[in-house]
């Protein structure tokens, strides 16, 4: 396989240690045999690594013994491990393929650490690449995932390499025949209950009948798409600096108006970068549909709206703000008794200072302060979140006004309204919406002591 030699020359440093994942099937056995053929030329240390997932009892154990014996014949180390995946599945709600992959890759990390290996080589080939790309397209993957498997990518303390992505399954089987290799075949690969097998057994034969070299076209697509995607991602990162207003561990806020000025391809990638930042691991249920739904929400004329994303992430549009948050409901609703004197730290990151003063009319006025005669105080005072139907009798006005309308008039972002503090007395009267409006209950110009409150940012 000429392309294998070119790949090694381009991507591997001489004198390195390479862990080769070996299942015993034709793909991984071919890969291991190819590495053995260049071992001396590149001064490589080769280590075989095999995992028995224990799905097929004696048959899978025999495959493990076959791999260990193969490595012994060629005088290379072999690390093999049996992992009871069926038992693990009984304790955890996860697919068998996801569980197998998780444990297999954790084992590979252990082997790389043991041998101080630079590379983990895997036997994925061109037909696998076709299946992967098509599966991800159908599932609605976005960004780099659309390019399928990378030939080289960072992994643990080194790299995963896939030298056979330009080879077809047929070429691999021919290699096994020419070199007298006798690989083992997993019968589960023919079962159509697995999604990948359905693509392999139905879609792939059709594509190959149209073009026997279709795997080369898909690999070309993968490489060029990835190049384009990486360029657009870097361009998006540059533009992100003008769009983001706030970036925290579990929240990101951006300027919707500036965001919508970006070209549409950068908008999509901007959202993807935010999701990659917030999610430690992107949920499998997250797809391009979520991104398109958000683009539709942000481009609509309506000033507000929200979307629920997987794993508790909420995206909230409000006027020129868009908030991505995992913390939306953590403090809701709230009700905090207000002691006199005291300082109350509020869920929205602000605080209210409360004390008793003489002649508050000498102090600054404005909606950030509120004063009330001690004689007219109806205890207890409470700081709470808003409730449906809240109304306030505004200072200097006849009648009442809905608190909801005050938020709208002041263009308070939707995600801030539910945690905005409201001061209520013991009779249920709303005395003050801190920072926004005062009620007619405020007093500042008569004799006696006053309760004086000040709203401030921390």
Please provide the DSSP assignment of 257-273 as one string.
Answer: HHHHTS-HHHHHHHHHH
Please, which residues have CB within 8 angstroms of residue 292's CB and are 6 or more apart in sequence?
none
Query: Annotation-wise, does 141 bind a ligand?
Result: no
- The stretches of 213-361 forming alpha helices (DSSP H) are 214-243, 256-260, 264-278, 288-299
Please, which residues have CB within 8 angstroms of residue 433's CB and are 6 or more apart in sequence?
367, 392, 403, 406, 420, 421, 422, 423
Q: Which of 225, 224, 254, 249 lies closest to 239, judged by CA?
A: 254
Q: Which of 398, 348, 340 lies closest to 370, judged by CA?
A: 340
- Please give the Cα distance from 200 to 204 (Å, whole number): 5
3-state helix, strand, coil in the chain (%, to 5): 45, 20, 35
Query: Annotation-wise, does 25 bind a ligand?
Result: yes
Distances, alpha carbon 152 to alpha carbons 122, 155, 364, in Å: 10, 9, 64
Query: Annotation-wise, does 26 bind a ligand?
Result: yes
Query: Annotation-wise, does 163 bind a ligand?
Result: no
Distances, alpha carbon 310 to alpha carbons 137, 138, 198, 275, 285, in Å: 20, 19, 27, 11, 7
Q: CB 353: neighbour CB atoms within 10 A?
A: 14
**Cα torsion 441, 446, 448, 453: sign:** positive
Q: CB 334: neighbour CB atoms within 10 A?
A: 13
Q: Using DSSP, how many helices (H) and how many strands (E) does the chain show?
A: 15, 22
- Please give the Cα distance from 278 to 246 (Å, whole number): 13
Q: Which of 438, 434, 399, 430 lies closest to 419, judged by CA?
A: 434
Distances, alpha carbon 80 to alpha carbons 23, 48, 108, 110, in Å: 10, 8, 10, 11
Report residue 75 as tokens: 């005088």
Query: Annotation-wise, does 310 bind a ligand?
Result: no
φ/ψ of residue 374, rounded to 5? -60, -35
Q: Check: CB of residue 355 under 8 Å from CB of residue 371.
A: no
DSSP 8-state symbol, 394: B
Q: Check: CB of residue 97 under 8 Å from CB of residue 194.
A: yes
Query: Annotation-wise, does 355 bind a ligand?
Result: no
Q: Check: CB of residue 352 under 8 Å from CB of residue 436.
A: no
Q: Check: CB of residue 165 under 8 Å from CB of residue 313.
A: no
Residue ranges of the annotated binding site for ATP are 23-28
Residue ranges of the annotated binding site are 23-28
């Amino acid at each position: 396989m000429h392309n294998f030699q070119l790949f090694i020359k381009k991507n591997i440093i001489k004198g390195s240690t390479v862990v080769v994942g070996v299942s015993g099937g034709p793909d991984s056995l071919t890969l291991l045999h190819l590495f053995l053929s260049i071992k001396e030329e590149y001064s490589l240390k080769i280590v075989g690594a095999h995992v028995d997932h224990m799905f097929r009892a004696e048959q899978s154990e025999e495959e493990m013994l076959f791999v260990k014996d193969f490595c012994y014949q060629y005088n290379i180390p072999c690390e093999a491990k049996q992992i009871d995946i069926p038992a693990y599945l009984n304790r955890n709600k996860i697919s068998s393929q996801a569980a197998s992959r998780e444990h297999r890759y954790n084992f590979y990390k252990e082997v790389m650490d043991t041998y101080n290996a630079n590379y983990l080589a895997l036997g994925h080939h061109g037909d696998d690449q076709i299946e992967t790309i098509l599966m991800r397209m159908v599932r609605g993957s976005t960004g780099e995932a659309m390019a399928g498997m990378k030939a080289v990518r960072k992994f643990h303390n080194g790299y995963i390499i896939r030298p056979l992505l330009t080879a077809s399954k047929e070429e691999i089987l021919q290699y096994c025949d020419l070199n007298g290799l006798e690989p083992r075949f997993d019968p589960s690969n023919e079962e159509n209950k697995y999604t990948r097998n359905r693509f392999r057994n139905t879609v792939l034969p059709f594509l190959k009948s149209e073009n026997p070299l279709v795997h080369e076209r898909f690999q070309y697509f993968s490489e060029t798409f990835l190049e384009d995607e990486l360029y657009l991602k870097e361009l998006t990162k540059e533009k992100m600096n003008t769009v983001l207003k706030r970036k925290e561990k579990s929240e990101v806020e951006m300027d919707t108006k500036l965001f919508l000025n970006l070209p549409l391809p950068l908008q999509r990638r901007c959202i993807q970068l935010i999701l990659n930042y917030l999610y430690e691991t992107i949920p499998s249920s997250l797809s391009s549909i979520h991104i398109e739904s958000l683009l539709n929400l942000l481009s609509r004329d309506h000033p507000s709206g929200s979307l629920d994303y997987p794993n508790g992430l909420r995206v909230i549009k409000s006027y020129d703000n868009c908030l991505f948050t995992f913390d939306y409901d953590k403090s809701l609703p709230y009700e905090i008794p207000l002691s006199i004197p005291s300082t109350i730290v509020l869920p929205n990151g602000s605080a209210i200072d409360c004390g008793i003063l003489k002649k508050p009319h000498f102090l600054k006025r404005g909606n950030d302060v509120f004063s009330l005669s001690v004689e007219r105080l109806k205890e207890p005072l409470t700081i709470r979140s808003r409730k449906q139907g809240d109304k306030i009798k505004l200072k200097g006005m006849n009648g009442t006004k809905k608190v909801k309308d005050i938020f709208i008039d002041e263009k308070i972002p939707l995600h801030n309204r539910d945690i905005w503090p409201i001061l209520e007395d013991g009779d249920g009267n709303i005395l003050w919406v801190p920072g926004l409006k005062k009620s007619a209950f405020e007093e500042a110009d008569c004799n006696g002591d006053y309760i004086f409150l000040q709203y401030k940012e921390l």
